[in-house]
Amino acid sequence: MKKLAKLLRNLVILFFASSILAVLVLRFVPVYITPLMLIRSVEAMVDGETPKIKKDWVPLNKISQNMVQAVVASEDNLFMEHNGFSFRDIEKALEHNKKGKRIRGGSTISQQTAKNVFLWPQRSWVRKGLETYFTVLIEFLWTKERIMEVYLNVIETGNGIYGVQAASRKYFGVNASNLTRSQAALIAVCLPNPRKFSPANPSGYISRRKNHIVNLMGKLKRVDFHRDLNCKKK
């Protein structure tokens, strides 16, 4: 029993040490591969298809402010205010789902980033617990600017397409730095189910959502990461 207890203790220490080290390294190094990319590749091979991963890492300053505003408007209005979790949005999602409408999650951009970079997509209590742990880590060890940069570079944006730069080139033939409000909103509203919906061929539902997000983008305060850093220093 003592040997087993020692083994378990060492495994726990190894997990915490390695996870903290990984988060620290990825604060500075681009995320070139994620568990979801590997899972999608395996799924493609099982289906007899050739795996494809289209992605192109770009720094946040090469991504249109419209794209930042669009995902904040669509996915996480309180991104700059919370510490990784929005209990208001969780409550709204629970109430929405109780009414039997289209199932909606309450995950913040920070939570989605933690899941996309370190975990797998299938829902379970184990994954949710680990997602909470990694969310706390990245909120503590990364800046909001870095969280947004990683999110916009690794998020699934289509079948075999990851990140907004690859999506911008695929759907609109422009770089992410040149996305208009409408184009950015179209990419953002497709993120909950990017393999079903396409920004290049929006359904009526997606078009209505896009118009709503464009309208909301005009009302939201501009996301300014440098201003946020200056406020913290004072």
Identify whether the C-beta of residue 147 lies closer than 8 Å to the C-beta of residue 57: no
- Provide the pLDDT for residue 156: 97
211-224 pLDDT, tens digit each: 999 999 999 999 99
C-alpha 155/C-alpha 79 separation (Å) is 16
Q: Which residue has the higher pLDDT, 197 or 87?
A: 197
- Provide the pLDDT for residue 94: 54
C-alpha 231/C-alpha 234 separation (Å) is 5
% of the chain at pLDDT higher than 70: 88
Using DSSP's 3-state secondary structure scheme, residue 156 falls into strand
Is residue 57 in a domain? yes
83-126 pLDDT, tens digit each: 999 777 566 655 554 555 554 457 999 999 999 999 998 889 99
Is residue 2 in a domain? no
Is residue 14 in a domain? no
Is residue 15 in a domain? no
- Provide the pLDDT for residue 234: 44
pLDDT above 50 (res 182): yes
pLDDT above 50 (res 132): yes
pTM of this prediction? 0.90
Domain limits for position 215: 32-233
**Alpha-carbon dihedral of residues 16, 55, 142, 219, nearest 10 degrees?**
-130
- Provide the pLDDT for residue 233: 46
pLDDT above 90 (res 160): yes
Is residue 122 in a domain? yes
**Alpha-carbon dihedral of residues 110, 112, 118, 121, nearest 10 degrees?**
160
Is residue 221 in a domain? yes
Structural domains counted in the chain? 1
Is residue 216 in a domain? yes
C-alpha 57/C-alpha 192 separation (Å) is 21
- Provide the pLDDT for residue 69: 97
Residue 116, domain CATH = 1.10.3810.10
- Provide the pLDDT for residue 77: 93
- Provide the pLDDT for residue 95: 57
Is residue 7 in a domain? no
